[in-house]
């Protein structure tokens, strides 16, 4: 029986944990049976859809307070150093006891502020260790600076066996501005976007709708309010998901605006977005990785309003993907209800097609193949 662990630090939104569960689902189909354990800082992790034989260990939560800075989400009496030590000790004890054959780390080689370093030492010699990078880390200068400040290259060199980039280098290549140690350059694999096969999509049921998404919702209130206000003027049937992390006052403001739009349904939190996405004729969203994968896979026209603070990752992604897709990018400085309503009125949703032109969307298949090869090299034979 193969054991696979996945680590996701989770400080803002749900993008990291959702990506980790998508990867876990692909790995759960490896032959011979797989036990999966996900370590996450998102308290919502236990509510999200996950594959069979996959369990979750939740680390004490953090919230992002700025670029690269975090604070306790709930344990506010702890200093940042105490919180990182607590999270690190939980991760180390968990991975030592679980003894995985493969460990997949999302985004940060050393974990949040180095919290994973002891855990990496604990699995050394037994587990194959992979860093999973999203398609865009940040704008190049900021990504390069953070990579250097966190000694990412040194951690990779000492503790990792491979790097998977969940994207298409024709769209964006994050490794072009990150220092990859020479030992691992041949171990960098661009998997393609984790898009095709990420959920059990169907034709959907009911009328096609306009779908509004703001990620976890922590910084999505402005887009949600513009979407709700626009719905009162364009009159289309629409769904808006506020996300579990939207502050209460912002949530109430959006719901008040939605009262003027009788064909708009507002949802606080939807663990499984598949049914809503399958009914969508078009999407208005931020520019997170998972949303991008979902609209690319379905060929949906999308108005993308990317986050630009505390990092410009979403803006870089949206601009890079726009020529390859049906994504229209709206600078957040120009966001208001009129801009959203104008885009909706000009929509042509009758020609949703899946053409051969576009970014590589087969990342989940390649992740599965790469994992099987690594585990086989580590001594546990898996026939993919």
pLDDT band at 380 (very low <50, low <70, confident <90, very high): low
27 and 129 together in one domain:
yes
pLDDT band at 354 (very low <50, low <70, confident <90, very high): very low
Per-residue model confidence (pLDDT) at position 12: 74
Percent of the chain with pLDDT strictly greater than 90: 85
156 and 108 together in one domain:
yes
Is residue 203, in this structure, part of any structural domain at all? no
Does the structure show a pLDDT above 90 at 236?
yes
215 and 177 together in one domain:
no
Is residue 382, in this structure, part of any structural domain at all? no
174 and 252 together in one domain:
no
Is residue 135, in this structure, part of any structural domain at all? yes
Q: What residue numbers bound the domain in which 129 lies?
A: 2-193+361-377
**How many angstroms separate the CA atoms of 260 and 128, rounded?**
55
pLDDT band at 70 (very low <50, low <70, confident <90, very high): confident
Percent of the chain with pLDDT strictly greater than 70: 93
CA angle 293, 299, 302 (to 5 degrees): 75
Average pLDDT of the residues of the chain = 93
Is residue 316, in this structure, part of any structural domain at all? yes
Query: Residue range 355-364: average pLDDT?
Result: 84
**How many angstroms separate the CA atoms of 34 and 224, rounded?**
39
Q: For the stretch 304-339, what's the b/e string if a residue is b when 16 or more beta carbons lie within 10 angstroms of its beta carbon?
A: bbbbbebbbbbbbbbbbbeeebbbbbbebeebebeb
Per-residue model confidence (pLDDT) at position 24: 97
Does the structure show a pLDDT above 70 at 74?
yes
338 and 367 together in one domain:
no
**How many angstroms separate the CA atoms of 17 and 299, rounded?**
24
Q: Tell me, what CATH number does 283's domain have?
A: 3.40.50.2000
223 and 250 together in one domain:
yes
Does the structure show a pLDDT above 60 at 382?
no
Query: Residue range 40-54: average pLDDT?
Result: 92
**How many angstroms separate the CA atoms of 24 and 278, rounded?**
22
186 and 217 together in one domain:
no
Is residue 104, in this structure, part of any structural domain at all? yes
Structure tokens at 42: 């998102």
Is residue 198, in this structure, part of any structural domain at all? no
Per-residue model confidence (pLDDT) at position 348: 73
371 and 334 together in one domain:
no
Per-residue model confidence (pLDDT) at position 166: 98
pLDDT tens by residue, 250-287: 999 999 999 999 999 999 999 999 999 999 999 999 99
Is residue 199, in this structure, part of any structural domain at all? no
63 and 177 together in one domain:
yes
31 and 78 together in one domain:
yes
Is residue 37, in this structure, part of any structural domain at all? yes
Q: Which segment of 126-135, 156-165, 206-215, 347-356 scores lowest on mean pLDDT?
A: 347-356
264 and 341 together in one domain:
yes
Does the structure show a pLDDT above 50 at 31?
yes
pLDDT tens by residue, 180-198: 999 999 989 999 999 999 8
Query: What's the predicted TM-score (pTM) here?
Result: 0.94
Per-residue model confidence (pLDDT) at position 128: 97
The total number of structural domains that make up the chain: 2
Does the structure show a pLDDT above 50 at 178?
yes
98 and 183 together in one domain:
yes
């Amino acid at each position: 029986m193969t054991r696979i662990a996945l680590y996701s630090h989770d400080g803002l939104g749900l993008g990291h944990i959702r990506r980790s569960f998508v990867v876990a689902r692909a790995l759960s189909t490896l032959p011979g049976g797989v036990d999966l354990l996900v370590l996450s800082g998102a308290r919502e992790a236990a509510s999200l859809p996950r594959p069979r034989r996959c369990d979750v260990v939740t680390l004490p939560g953090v919230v992002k307070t700025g670029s690269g800075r975090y604070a306790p989400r709930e344990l506010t009496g702890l200093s940042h150093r105490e919180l990182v030590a607590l999270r690190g000790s939980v991760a180390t004890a968990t991975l030592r006891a679980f003894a995985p054959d493969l460990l997949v780390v999302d985004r940060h080689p050393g974990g949040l502020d180095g919290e994973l370093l002891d855990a990496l030492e604990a699995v050394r010699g037994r587990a194959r260790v992979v860093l999973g990078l999203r398609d865009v880390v940040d704008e190049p200068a900021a990504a390069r600076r953070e990579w250097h400040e966190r000694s990412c290259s040194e951690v990779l060199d000492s503790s990792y066996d491979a790097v998977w980039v969940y994207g298409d280098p024709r769209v964006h290549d994050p490794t072009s501005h990150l220092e990859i140690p020479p030992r691992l350059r041949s171990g960098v694999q661009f998997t393609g976007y984790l898009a095709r096969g990420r959920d059990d999509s169907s034709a959907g049921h009911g009328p096609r709708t306009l779908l509004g998404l703001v990620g976890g919702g922590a910084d999505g209130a402005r887009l949600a309010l513009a979407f709700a206000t626009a719905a009162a003027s364009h009159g289309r049937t629409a769904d808006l998901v506020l996300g579990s992390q939207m502050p209460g006052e912002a949530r109430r403001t959006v719901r008040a605006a939605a009262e003027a739009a009788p064909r708009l349904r507002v949802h606080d939190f939807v663990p499984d977005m598949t049914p809503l996405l399958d009914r969508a004729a078009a999407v208005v969203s931020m520019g997170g990785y998972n949303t991008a994968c979902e609209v690319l896979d379905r060929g949906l026209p999308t108005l993308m309003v990317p986050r630009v603070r505390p990092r410009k990752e979403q803006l870089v992604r949206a601009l890079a993907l726009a020529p390859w897709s049906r994504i229209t990018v709206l600078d957040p400085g120009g966001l208001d209800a009129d801009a959203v309503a104008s885009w909706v009125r000009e929509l042509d949703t009758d020609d949703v097609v899946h053409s051969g032109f576009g970014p590589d969307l087969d990342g989940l298949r390649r992740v599965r193949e790469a994992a099987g090869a690594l585990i086989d090299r580590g001594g546990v034979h898996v026939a993919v």
